[in-house]
Structure 1
Amino acid sequence: MVLLIRERLKIAFSRQKSYAYPRRKDVEFIVGDYVFLKVSSLKGVIRFEKKGKFAPRYIGPFEITDRMRAVTYRLELLSSLSHVHPVFHISILKKYVPNPSHVLQLNTDELDENLTFKEQLVAIVYYQLRQFRSKQIPIVKVL
């Protein structure tokens, strides 16, 4: 009975290994590399002046100044991000491949300690009041 259980467990483990991404590579950075930092957005929050699926998810690039452990790195952050702890896990870093044609605009003044940001109302562009049978719903387009 024990041999049967071991055999079936071995089959299950091999099946799980085959489902894993076969071309996955372990990511490793060296001191001096430049990386992007992943920022998280809350629902209904503007992502650096753009909403929707084309909004940026990463800010940077930032230089790696030190490797703390196998999966944690210290970054050289801007003075506007001085309230954020400079050590980050590898899962929220993305390698920056330098290209002279890249034009990067960095707007990180609005980030909180947990790397989130809130949208700010600039102007109301469009306003319409939709009338249904029993209620009215305002539709507002905000810049």
Structure 2
Amino acid sequence: MDFVTKLPKSSQGYDTIWVIADRLTKSAIFTPIRETDLMDKLARIYLKEVITRHGILVSIISDRNPRFVSNFWGSLQNALGTRLDMSTAYHPETDGQSKRSI
């Protein structure tokens, strides 16, 4: 998971793309969001766009974006039984799938 930020605003006000890459199938979900969207809204989008399509994930690799290290996100994934793995700072190859999808 990663974010492409600082994009020009769309007519709906979106300025960020949330990239969610599936390591198994090499498919990706590109979801438009606003950089200011709060974690509860992102959680709803995640449930709608990811969980409904793919089911509960075994693990997630993401960078150390504050959204992904928040207590809310950790609690949600813990409740779902999903393991959270954080990539090492300045080593984007850990999460290379989302980088290659962009």
- State the TM-score, normalized to the length of structure 2: 0.27
Highest CA radius of gyration, 1 or 2? Answer: 1
Structure with more of its chain in helix, by fraction: 2
- State the TM-score, normalized to the length of structure 1: 0.21
Structure scoring higher RCO (CA < 8 A, sep ≥ 6) equals 2
